[in-house]
C-alpha cells in the first residue's frame, strides 16, 4: 500500500476531512489508527505529512479536543508517528506542539493516564530535534520536567506508571545532549533530584527501565573535567637517538574541556567486538610472498657470530672458566654449580630439586596418558575460592610453612633493606663479595634468608641483586620490588572467575555522582605523585610507591578514609597506553575493605567486567612461607567516567574518553607491604636471573645452552638471545654434521611490556626445553631453538604497557626497522634473514603475546585464501593455491593444551597488521607457520579450565605444551624421524590424543579405562627405550 501511494492517500483524506465545517470523528478516529500503523512502516511518513499539511491539521484538531479524551488520544498517536522524523519534529516544535503538550502533561493523577503517557512520548520524540530541545531550554521547561519527574516518582508507589516516568526521563536525556541543556539541568539541581529519587530503586528489577534512564541522564550531565595531572605526557622522558628532547608540555587547563557533544552509551555486554572486515587486506600482491632484504646482504655476515652452532667446533662452544658470568658468582653459596646431574643444587637448595621433579621432570608423556596436563582440571562447578591468607597470623610473629619460628616481621619491614645503594656497591662492576658494600643491610637479608630458606626453583635473591645493579632505567630506580627479590611460587590451584555482583557498576557510578553533589565528603588529598615527589605521608593512611622495576603508578589521591583514586603513568615519551599498573602499598589495617579506583584507562571494555581480578603479593605472607602472587579484589567493575582528554592534546579533534577500573581489597595483615599489579609481573632482571640459573643448572655435556646478547637497547640494557639444543653425541664428523643440520625453531616474546603473561609462557617453555623430560630430550636432539625471551627490555624495566623508550609500538616496526631507533627488532629480523639466506629458515616462528579482551589461549596466523574469503573476494581466493599446513600446529595445541582453543584462532591478514612480526616473517621470510600466540590475562571460558582464571602455573604449562606441539607437528609431517622408537613415539601421541578426545565426550568408563591401560603399558616400554 505504501509503495502504491497509500500513505499520501490517507494523509490527504485526513486533511480533507478535518477541514470540513464539522469534522466527522467517526471517520477521523479509524483514520488516525490506520495512519499510526502505516506510519510505523513508512520511513518518509513524517516528510509526506509535512508536505500535505497534515501536521498543522492534526495540531489544530488536538487543540480543539483538549477536553475530549478519546479524540485527543488519537491525535497524539498520530503526532507521535509524525515526530519520528527529526525534521518533522523540528517543524512541530516551531508550530507550538511543545506548548500544547505541556498543557496535557499534568502532575501525578490517576485520571487520563493514557493521554498523559501518549503526550510524554510525543514530547520525547519532539525533543530529539536539537532546535526543539533548545526551545525547551530557553522557555524554562527543564525545571518543569524535573518537577514532573519528582512528582510522579514520589506518588507512583505501586510503580503502575513506569512508561510515563521513563518518557519524562527520556525528555531530559534528549535535552542533555546540548551544552545549554546540561547547564540548565545542573542549575535546576537535576543531579541532586535524580540522585535522590534513584537510591531506593537500585535493587528493584521491575524499575530497570527507569533506573537505566536515570543513570544515562546523570552520566551525560556530570560535568566533564581534565584528569588531575600536571601534564598529559608521561612523567618520564627519554631523549633517545633521532628524537629531539620535548619541550615541557603545556599544563592542562579547565578551558581545555569544552562540550564534546553527544556521547555513545557504553553498556555493551560484548566481550569481543568483531574487527571490521574493511581492515582485511584484499590486494593479492600485498598478500603474496615478498622475498628480499631490507638491508645490504653483506650486513648479514654479522649474524654468523649469533649462530656458532653452524660453524664452530665442539671445543670452542664449551664455556670457558674465565667468562664474566662464571667469575662473578664463583663460590657463592646460593648459586647452583654445574654438576654431572642435570638438577644438582647446593645442599641449602635441596628442596628445589623435589619441586622441580614435580613441576618439570614428570614426563609430559605421562600427562598425555592421563588425558590431561600435569595439573588439576576445572571442577564441574566453580570451586570455593582458595584463600592463601586464611588463618595467617595478623601480627609480625608466627611460624613459616616449615614450622620454623619466624622473625619479627614488623621490625624487618621497618628496615629499609630494599635500597640497592645500601645492599650493593655502585652498579659499575662491583661483585657481591666486595667488602665495601654496607654489611648491615646485607646482614639483614642474610638473616631473613636463613630464617626463611627459599624453595623456589630457578630463583636466587643474590643473583637477582647482582643483576639488578646492571639494569638501566630512565628514572634510575634505586629500589627493588620485594616479590622480584624474594621470588614467586605458583598458587596451589587456580582461582575461579569472579562472579560479578549485580548492579555493582551502577553503585560505583552513583558514588561518583555523590562526590560531585556532596564535595564536602571528599578529602581529595594527594598522597603520592611522581610529578610532585614530596607529599605529606605522615598522617594515617596508605603509603604508595612505584619507583622500582616494572612499577607503574603516577599519582594516588585519598578520596575518603579507605578509598583512593589512582592514575597510572603513560608509556615513556607517550600520552597514551595506560593499562599496566604495579605498585607497592603499605600502612594498611587488616580486615578493612580498601577501594582503589584507577581513573585514566583508555580501552572501552575490559576482562575486569567478565571475571578477571588483579594480582597481589603480601610481604608478610612471603615471610611466613607463602611467597605467591594471588588473584585478589572484589566488587570489580570497569566503566566510562567523566574525565576527558585535553583539547590542547588533540588539537581540537574529538577527545578521548577515560575509563575507571574500581576494585576493593581486604588485606590479610596490618602494617604489611603489599604489591598490587594488573597481572603477574615478570621483570627484565627476573629474566636475566632466570637465564643465568638455568644455564648453570643444565648438564653441559648433554644440553647446549648458550646465552648471549642480541644487541643493546636504547636504554643500555642487553637484549638476550638464547640457543637451546642437544650437544652432539661425540666430536665425530657425522655427529657434528647432524648437530649443525638440525632445523630451527624461533620463539620471541614480550615485545609489548605490559603483556607479562607472555613471559610466564616463555618461562615454562625455557624450563621445559632444558629439562630431562623425554619429550624435551627429543626436541633438543632434533631442533635448534633460537629464543628471544624479551624483545622490549626497556619498556619492561620502565613500566610501559606497549611501547619502547621512543614511544613506538615495536610490533609495528618490522617492515623497516632501524638499527639506531629499533635495535632489537632490527637485529631479530636480521637474524631471521640470515637463517633464511643459509637455507635454515625456521620451521615455526611464534611471537608470544597477551590479550586483554579475550579468554583462553589462541594463535593468529596468516592465510591468503581465508583473508580473501572473509573479505568476500571469492574470485581472488579461488585463483590462489595455498598450503593449509599453517592450521596443523593450532589443531595439535587444541588437542594437547587445556588452555588452548582453536575456535578463537584467526588466520586473517589485516592492513593494520602489515608491519607486525607475524605478517612480515610470513611474507618476507616465507615462513608459512608464522604465528602470534595470545594468552588471556583473564582465564578460560571453555575446555578443562573453563570458569578458572590463569595462574602462573597454567601459563608455564602452556609454554611446555607449545613445545610438545612442535614435536607432534614434526611427527605428523613425517620428517626427520625414521627409527622404530620414534615411530612408536608417534603412535603413543596418537593414542594419547585419542584418550583426550574420549575424555572430552561422553563414553563408558570401561572403554576409557581400557584405552588408558593400553597407553600406560605401551608408554612404559617407550619410556624405557627413551632412557636407553
| Residue where the block lists cell 544515562 | 216
Element (H, E) at 86: helix 86-94
Cα 890 from Cα 753, distance rounded (Å): 25
End-to-end Cα separation, the chain, in angstroms? 87
| Residue where the block lists cell 630458606 | 453
Residues shown for the chain: 1028
125 Cβ neighbours under 8 A, 6+ residues apart: 80, 83, 84, 89
Q: What is the phi/psi pair of residue 722, to 5°?
A: -115, 135
Cα 125 from Cα 106, distance rounded (Å): 18
Cα 965 from Cα 222, distance rounded (Å): 53
820-834 b/e (C-beta count within 10 Å ≥ 16 → b): ebbbbbbbbbbbbbb
120-137 b/e (C-beta count within 10 Å ≥ 16 → b): bbbbbbbbbbbebbbbbb
Cα 632 from Cα 911, distance rounded (Å): 39
Cα 1027 from Cα 1017, distance rounded (Å): 16
Joined grid coordinates for residue 821: 631507533
List the one residue out of 786, 697, 220 whose CA is nearest residue 460.
697
653-689 b/e (C-beta count within 10 Å ≥ 16 → b): eebbbbbbbbbebebbbbbbbbbbbbbbbbbbbbbbb
Residue 525 DSSP SS3 = strand
Joined grid coordinates for residue 538: 605522615
**For residue 167, what are the CA distances in angstroms to 116, 117, 127, 172, 506?**
10, 8, 11, 9, 21
Cα 1026 from Cα 365, distance rounded (Å): 11
Element (H, E) at 595: strand 593-601
List the one residue out of 946, 843, 947, 833 whose CA is nearest residue 898.
946
DSSP-derived letter for residue 125 is H
| Residue among 755, 934, 954, 956 flagged as catalytic | 934
In the annotation, is 866 catalytic? no
Cα 376 from Cα 702, distance rounded (Å): 32
Residue 967 contacts residue 778 (beta carbons within 8 Å): yes
Q: What is the phi/psi pair of residue 309, to 5°?
A: -65, -15
Cα 344 from Cα 338, distance rounded (Å): 7
Active site residues: 934
Amino acid at each position: 500500500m505504501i509503495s502504491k501511494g497509500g500513505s499520501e492517500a490517507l494523509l490527504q483524506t485526513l486533511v480533507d476531512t478535518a477541514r470540513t465545517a464539522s469534522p466527522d470523528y467517526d471517520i477521523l478516529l479509524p483514520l488516525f489508527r490506520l495512519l499510526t500503523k502505516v506510519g510505523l512502516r513508512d520511513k518518509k511518513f513524517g516528510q509526506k505529512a509535512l508536505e500535505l499539511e497534515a501536521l498543522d491539521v492534526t495540531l489544530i484538531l488536538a487543540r480543539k479536543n483538549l477536553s475530549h479524551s478519546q479524540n485527543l488520544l488519537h491525535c497524539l498517536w498520530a503526532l507521535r508517528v509524525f515526530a519520528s522524523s527529526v525534521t518533522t519534529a523540528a517543524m512541530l516544535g516551531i508550530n507550538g506542539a511543545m506548548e500544547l503538550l505541556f498543557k496535557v502533561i499534568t502532575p501525578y493523577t490517576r485520571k487520563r493516564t493514557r493521554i498523559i503517557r501518549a503526550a510524554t512520548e510525543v514530547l520525547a520524540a519532539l525533543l530529539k530535534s536539537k532546535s526543539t530541545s533548545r526551545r525547551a531550554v530557553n522557555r524554562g521547561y527543564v525545571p518543569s520536567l524535573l518537577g514532573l519527574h519528582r512528582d510522579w516518582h514520589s506518588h507512583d508507589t505501586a510503580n503502575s506508571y513506569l512508561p510515563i516516568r521513563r518518557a519524562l526521563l527520556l525528555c531530559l536525556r534528549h535535552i542533555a545532549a546540548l551544552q545549554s541543556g546540561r547547564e540548565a539541568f545542573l542549575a535546576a539541581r537535576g543531579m541532586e533530584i535524580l540522585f535522590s529519587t534513584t537510591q531506593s530503586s537500585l535493587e528493584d528489577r521491575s524499575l530497570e527501565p527507569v533506573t537505566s534512564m536515570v543513570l544515562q541522564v546523570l552520566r551525560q550531565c556530570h560535568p566533564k573535567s581534565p584528569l588531575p595531572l600536571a601534564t598529559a605526557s608521561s612523567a618520564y622522558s627519554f631523549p633517545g637517538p633521532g628524537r629531539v628532547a620535548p619541550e615541557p608540555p603545556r599544563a592542562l587547563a579547565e578551558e581545555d574541556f569544552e562540550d564534546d557533544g553527544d556521547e555513545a552509551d557504553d553498556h555493551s555486554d560484548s566481550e569481543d567486538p568483531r574487527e571490521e572486515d574493511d581492515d582485511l587486506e584484499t590486494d593479492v600482491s600485498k598478500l603474496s610472498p615478498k622475498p628480499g632484504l631490507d638491508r645490504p646482504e653483506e650486513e648479514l655476515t654479522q649474524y654468523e657470530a649469533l649462530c656458532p652452532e653452524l660453524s664452530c667446533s665442539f671445543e670452542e662452544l664449551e664455556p670457558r672458566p674465565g667468562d664474566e658470568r662464571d667469575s662473578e658468582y664463583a663460590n657463592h653459596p646460593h648459586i647452583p654449580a654445574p654438576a654431572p646431574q642435570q638438577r644438582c643444587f647446593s645442599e641449602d637448595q635441596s628442596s628445589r630439586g623435589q619441586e622441580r621433579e614435580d613441576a618439570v621432570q614428570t614426563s609430559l608423556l605421562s600427562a598425555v596418558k592421563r588425558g590431561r596436563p600435569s595439573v588439576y582440571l576445572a571442577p564441574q562447578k566453580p570451586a570455593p575460592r582458595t584463600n592463601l591468607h586464611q588463618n595467617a597470623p595478623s601480627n609480625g610473629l608466627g611460624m613459616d610453612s616449615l614450622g620454623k619460628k619466624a622473625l619479627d616481621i614488623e621490625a624487618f619491614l621497618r628496615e629499609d633493606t630494599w635500597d640497592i645503594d645500601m645492599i650493593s656497591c655502585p652498579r659499575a662492576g662491583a661483585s657481591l663479595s666486595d667488602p665495601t658494600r654496607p654489611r648491615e643491610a646485607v646482614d639483614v637479608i642474610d638473616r631473613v634468608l636463613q630464617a626463611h630458606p627459599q624453595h623456589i626453583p630457578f630463583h636466587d635473591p643474590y643473583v637477582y641483586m647482582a643483576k639488578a645493579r646492571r639494569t638501566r632505567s630512565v628514572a634510575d630506580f634505586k629500589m627493588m620490588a620485594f616479590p622480584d627479590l624474594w621470588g614467586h611460587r605458583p598458587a596451589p590451584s587456580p582461582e575461579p572467575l569472579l562472579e560479578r555482583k549485580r548492579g555493582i557498576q551502577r553503585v560505583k557510578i552513583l558514588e561518583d555522582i555523590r562526590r560531585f553533589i556532596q564535595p564536602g565528603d571528599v578529602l581529595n588529598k594527594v598522597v603520592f605523585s611522581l610529578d610532585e615527589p614530596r607529599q605529606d605521608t605522615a598522617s594515617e593512611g596508605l603509603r604508595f610507591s612505584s619507583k622500582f622495576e616494572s612499577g607503574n603508578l603516577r599519582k594516588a589521591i585519598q578520596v575518603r578514609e579507605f578509598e583512593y583514586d589512582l592514575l597510572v603513568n603513560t608509556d615513556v615519551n607517550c600520552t597514551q597506553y595506560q593499562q599496566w599498573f604495579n605498585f607497592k602499598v603499605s600502612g594498611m589495617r587488616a580486615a578493612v575493605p580498601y577501594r582503589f579506583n584507577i581513573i585514566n584507562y583508555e580501552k572501552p571494555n575490559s576482562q575486569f567486567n567478565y571475571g578477571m581480578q588483579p594480582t597481589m603479593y603480601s610481604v608478610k605472607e612471603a615471610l611466613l612461607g607463602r611467597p605467591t602472587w594471588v588473584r585478589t579484589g572484589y566488587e570489580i567493575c570497569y566503566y566510562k567516567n567523566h574525565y576527558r582528554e585535553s583539547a590542547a592534546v588533540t588539537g581540537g579533534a574529538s577527545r578521548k574518553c577515560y575509563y575507571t577500573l574500581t576494585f576493593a581489597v581486604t588485606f590479610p595483615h596490618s602494617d604489611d607491604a603489599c604489591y598490587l599489579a594488573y597481572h603477574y609481573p615478570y621483570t627484565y632482571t627476573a629474566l636475566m636471573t632466570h637465564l643465568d640459573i638455568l644455564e648453570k643448572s643444565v648438564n653441559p655435556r648433554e644440553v647446549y645452552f648458550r646465552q648471549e646478547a642480541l644487541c643493546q637497547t636504547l636504554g643500555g640494557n642487553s637484549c638476550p638471545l638464547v640457543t637451546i639444543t642437544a650437544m652432539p653425541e661425540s666430536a665425530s664428523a657425522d655427529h657434528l654434521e647432524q648437530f649443525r643440520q638440525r632445523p630451527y625453531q624461533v620463539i620471541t616474546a614480550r615485545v609489548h611490556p605490559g603483556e607479562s603473561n607472555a613471559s610466564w609462557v616463555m618461562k615454562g617453555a625455557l624450563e621445559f626445553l632444558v629439562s630431562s623430560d623425554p619429550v624435551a630430550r627429543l626436541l633438543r636432539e632434533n631442533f635448534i631453538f633460537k629464543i628471544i625471551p624479551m624483545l622490549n627490555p626497556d619498556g619492561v624495566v620502565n613500566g610501559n604497557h606497549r611501547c619502547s623508550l621512543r614511544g613506538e609500538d615495536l610490533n609495528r616496526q618490522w617492515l623497516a626497522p632501524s638499527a639506531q631507533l629499533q635495535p632489537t627488532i632490527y637485529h631479530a629480523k636480521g637474524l631471521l634473514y640470515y637463517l633464511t639466506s643459509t637455507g635454515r629458515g625456521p620451521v615455526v616462528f611464534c611471537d608470544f603475546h597477551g590479550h586483554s579482551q579475550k579468554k583462553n589461549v589462541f594463535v593468529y596466523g596468516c592465510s591468503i585464501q581465508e583473508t580473501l574469503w572473509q573479505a568476500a573476494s571469492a574470485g581472488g581466493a579461488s585463483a590462489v593455491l595455498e598450503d593449509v599446513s599453517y592450521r596443523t600446529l593450532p589443531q595439535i595445541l587444541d588437542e594437547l593444551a587445556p588452555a588452548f582453543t582453536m575456535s578463537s584462532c584467526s588466520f586473517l591478514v589485516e592492513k593494520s597488521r602489515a608491519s607486525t612480526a607475524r605478517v612480515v616473517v610470513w611474507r618476507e621470510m616465507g615462513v608459512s607457520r608464522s604465528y602470534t600466540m595470545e594468552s588471556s590475562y583473564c582465564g578460560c571460558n571453555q575446555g578443562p579450565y573453563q570458569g578458572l582464571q590463569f595462574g602462573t602455573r597454567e601459563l608455564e604449562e602452556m609454554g611446555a605444551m607449545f613445545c610438545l606441539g612442535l614435536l607432534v607437528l614434526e611427527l605428523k609431517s613425517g620428517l626427520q624421524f625414521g627409527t622404530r622408537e620414534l615411530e612408536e613415539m608417534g603412535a603413543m601421541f596418537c593414542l594419547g590424543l585419542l584418550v583426550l578426545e574420549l575424555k572430552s565426550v561422553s563414553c563408558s568408563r570401561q572403554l576409557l579405562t581400557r584405552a588408558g591401560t593400553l597407553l600406560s603399558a605401551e608408554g612404559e616400554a617407550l619410556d624405557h627405550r627413551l632412557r636407553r
